[in-house]
Chain A
Amino acid sequence: MAAVIIDTVSKSFGSHLAVDDLSLEVPARSIYGFIGPNGSGKTTTLRMIMRILHPDRGHIRVLGREMLAAANDRVGYLPEERGLYKQMKVHDLLRFYAELKGFRDSKRAIADWLERLALADWADKKIETLSKGMAQKVQFISAVIARPELVLLDEPFSGLDPVNLDVIRNAILELNRQGVTVIFSTHDMAVAEKMCDYIFMIYKGRKVLDGTLASIQQTYGQDTVRVRLANQGVPLADLPGVLQVDDFGHCQELRIAPHTEPNRLLECLMARGVVQHFELAHPTLHEIFIRIAGNGEHQ
């Protein structure tokens, strides 16, 4: 069963087409990563799933229902722009959000979440006294406190230090293990690669990638060679079949043309110096992202 079905949806703001004829199916209990450059339509898509924005065209079904207007109590939402009532105490604020979602007996759940995210000592403190990281954790709890079946997290890791990033990541994974469908947007490709069951990339309002990491990488094939030579600084761009060289200092990534013979390339490399490392690989998500967003490859 699909948690979210987006069917040929379009949305414009004035003359700007933010989302163009988008179709997407998010399986239940999966973690779905939305990636794409700034302004590509990720937030607009999330807002349309939440019904904060209405599509100009197409249909969106969430948890089996096509909602018309009401914010769904079964869906949790963490917007990209964080904001909390600064004068409210942490516990009161979370209870308020729980009540808004129709979750009345929230005292125990609030205590549990505050404990899990190391905020128990701050329950009676005002939001204005919290650090930015703490406030973000409170915001995250407010999105999941009412035990939603689906959570939409817009850039949940932005601005977090590595410790808090791990805390939130583990919390998301735990929610997913409990059966919650998670959709989140991110600019961190490494996180998306490691966490997501499915990855969807939107670029200039259009879907350019959708599927598992393996299936996406499969479409690009093994067109990347990672090499390390003992003698650094040797020019490699002129090697036969090499389309592009990304130099990382101690190693280089070569993008090779289709049908390039790897053994032949290795021979050429050996002629240039001592080869310490040679690896034929799929492109990383980061590389795929750059190819699409940086070079407009999909076009």
Chain B
Amino acid sequence: MRKTMVIAAREYRAAVRTKTFVISLVMLPILMAGSFLLQRMFRGIVDTQDKHFVLVSHQAPRPLLDAVTAALDAYNRTDSFDKETHKQIKPRFIIDKIEPAAQSAAAHDRLRLTLSDQIRDGQLVGFMEIIPAGYKHGEGNKPRPPADDTYAPLVLRYQTNRPTFLAFSRFVEKVVTDSVRAQLGKKAGLNRAQTLALASPVAVEFKGLVKLDAGTGAIAESSEQGRFAGVIVPGVMMMLMFMVILMTATPLMQGIVEEKMQRIAEVLLGSVPPFELMMGKILGMVGVSLTIAGVYLGGAYWAAQHFGIADSISIELLIWFVIFQALAGLMFGSLFIAIGAACTDMKETQNLLWPVMLLACLPMFLLGNILQEPSGPIARGLSFFPFATPTLMMARIASPPGIPWWEPAIGVALVLATTLLCVYVAGRIFRIGILLQGKGARLGEILTWAIRG
């Protein structure tokens, strides 16, 4: 044990005393914040070049077309400019209207093909067809008599080769929807407020739980931010644990390969048995991972206080985090170190690493499901799969209203048992692989080492 601790201490010092460690520790939040800030900074910088569209009306009601035309004029004149600086901030929509005469289905297809070709040539961004209910090909371009179903239901068909540019389609959709509602409301004798109420769903106000202020004795509502804590805290904890595992286990594996390449391994084996050497390295890595997690959790706690959701991060939660982080470090560390020992250069590690990465990433694939329903069957079931337990159990503990104490306790037992198995198997692979030079081991050989020792 003494030798293990000497190795662990050296590994820890070697990892945290480097400039790379400090830089990576600081750079990660800077990069995350930077990407957020950049997105905000560049949000206002848009392409303001005129965008050309064609609006095809298949016998749409005249008032509707007039409403769209008027709205587009207003947008191009005023809404596409900043009200204060009068600088153009959005592209103008230049519209050509086509109101085709009676068309056969073939003629209609030819029109769409012509417009599509113009989009391909870059003359147009897209074209929108307004197709009233009951429109039939070849009925002629005669004005329809007003009828009860004039405005319902309409179909808007939009075609473009730039599906991410949604400003125009959304604009037309909103104008047409508002116009239809206004006309129908007017016909029904409803005023604007009544029409809006009819068309809008009843809003539900989501609030956090009220609490008793111990100081004043007053009953206080939770903050607006507190409402989101139930999603943010589990998500952040899960991501943090996953990130820290990768940040520390990968260098551990690289370190072993480098020690083999630089012939340091045999020097060490002259002083310390392979198992103690391996355990020392893994414990050093766990120390580094807890340091990183501690720094980030400290920062997260400060941020939580700043945003008024510190109540969502309890001491119990932090203790569980430390337990699961340490176990995850031991478990994944033993797998990564075994891979490093079995390979003779970094290229070889890639082939063996993917199954382990798959295990580590498994909870991330289901992140949405888990945050939405932390005690649902998927999250609950998967949280008892040892390789997913640390991250998932953590997310579930952090999600209100939490989980019964025995669930994380069983999780710890399962992860502990799996960790012991992983360390035992890794020890067997490490003992043989660490002196391997030249060509790396094949999967079959590694399995033989693991089984036979």
Chain A contacts to B: CB under 8 angstroms: 50-53, 69-71, 73, 76-79, 81-88, 96-97, 99-102, 139, 142-143
Contact = CB atoms under 8 A, between A and B. Distances in A.
Contact of A100 (B3, B259, B263, B435): B3
A102 B2 contact: yes
Contacts of A88: 14
In this complex, the interface size class of chain B, counting residues with CB under 8 Å from chain A, is 20 to 34
A87 B10 CA distance: 12
Contacts of A139: 267
Contacts of A85: 14, 264
B265 interface: yes
A83 B271 contact: no
Given A52-B435, A81-B263, A96-B6, A87 B14 contact: yes
Nearest to B275: A69
Interface of A is mostly: loop
B270 A71 contact: yes
Given A83-B264, A84-B262, A88-B14, 7 more contacts: A50-B270, A71-B271, A71-B273, A77-B271, A84-B267, A100-B272, A139-B267
A143 B270 CA distance: 9
A85 B265 CA distance: 10
B3 to A, nearest CB: 6
Given A52-B435, A96-B6, A83 B266 contact: yes
Contacts of B266: 52, 79, 81, 83
Contact of A96 (B10, B265, B273, B435): B10
A102 B3 CA distance: 8
B310 interface: no
A79 B270 CA distance: 8
Contacts of B259: 83
Nearest to A88: B14
Contacts of B240: none
B273 A69 contact: yes
B239 interface: no
Contact of B272 (A71, A86, A142): A71
Contact of A86 (B2, B10, B262, B271): B262
Contacts of B435: 52-53
Most buried by B among A50, A83, A97: A83
Contacts of B269: 50, 52, 71
Nearest to B434: A52
